[in-house]
Amino acid sequence: MKSTLRIAVLGSGTGSNFAAILDAIRSGTLHAEVTLALTDEPASTFLTLAQSHHLPTAVIDCGPHPLRTTEASQQAIHDHLLAARPDVIVLAGFMRILKDPSLTAFADRIVNVHPSLLPHFKGRHAVRDALASGQTTTGCTVHLVIPEIDAGRILAQAPVPILPTDTESTLHTRIKQTEHTLLPQVLSTWPTP
Ligand code: GRF
């Protein structure tokens, strides 16, 4: 029998992708357990969700600057990850840039979900940029995390139409719905040791 996949999830926001992972575990389509839910946002729904499921949590103070994360907080994140012994680490709306020592220690075991069809529309404003581009299709990507942002090997992608009536919010909501299927699918095929 396949052993249980150990997943560490990092998030900062609403946690809808985290919820999709938990739903997939509950329904049995994903044979996994969440061994850590780590956040930099103590007021996030992500954290509330983890707490309501009685999961191991960690809140890391990454400092006031949204883009600069101190070496000490990278080390604190790493210490929690090591203790959680994950087979795979999921960045599910984690707004900080994960760096070493975790990137090297967990190379090829960190995935990110991004709201565009990479390599198109990298960065924080992927949905806004897709909408502004005038294209009629965007989508979402699950990819490996490497030091270069949104550039690691693509594991899965799914398209999402851009409707003439879309706002950034409506488009992002529909992209997330697609992410909620794609991300658990990728995790369900992840090899266990
Ligand atoms: C998702 O759109 C994901 O692609 C991006 O951040 C968003 C997280 O949403 N990286 P949620 O917190 O999972 O609802």
What is the rounded average pLDDT of the residues 9-19?
A: 97
pTM, entire model = 0.96
Q: What is the CATH number of domain 5-188?
A: 3.40.50.170
Residue 182 alpha carbon to ligand 1 centre in Å? 12
> What average pLDDT score do residues 42-49 get?
97
The answer for residues whose C-beta is within 8 angstroms of residue 188's C-beta and 6 or more apart is 24, 29, 30, 31
Is 80 exceeded by the pLDDT of residue 150?
Answer: yes
- Expressed in angstroms and rounded, the spacing between residue 1 Cα and the centre of ligand 1 is 32
Is pLDDT above 80 for 30?
yes
pLDDT recorded at residue 69: 84
The residues annotated with a catalytic role in the active site are 114
15 and 92 in contact (C-beta within 8 Å)? yes
Residue partners of 119: CB distance under 8 A and separation at least 6: 150, 151
- pLDDT, tens only, 98-142: 999 999 999 999 999 999 999 999 999 999 999 999 999 999 999
pLDDT number for residue 66:
73
Angle of CA points 171, 162, 151, to nearest 5°? 75
- Ligand 1, atom 10: closest residue by C-alpha: 93
Note the pLDDT of residue 1: 61
Q: Which long-range contacts (CB under 8 A, 24 or more apart) does 19-27 make?
A: 19/49, 19/180, 20/179, 20/180, 20/181, 20/183, 20/184, 21/90, 21/92, 21/183, 21/184, 21/187, 22/49, 22/53, 23/180, 23/184, 24/184, 24/187, 24/188
Q: Whose CA is nearest to atom 8 of ligand 1?
A: 93
Nearest-10 crossing angle of helices 168-188, 126-133: 120
For 64-86, how does the pLDDT look when each residue is reduced to its tens digit (9 = 90+)? Answer: 887 678 899 999 999 999 999 99
In the predicted structure, residue 13 carries a pLDDT above the cut 80: yes
Ligand 1 surroundings by CB, under 6 angstroms: 11, 13-17, 92-93, 113-115, 176, 179
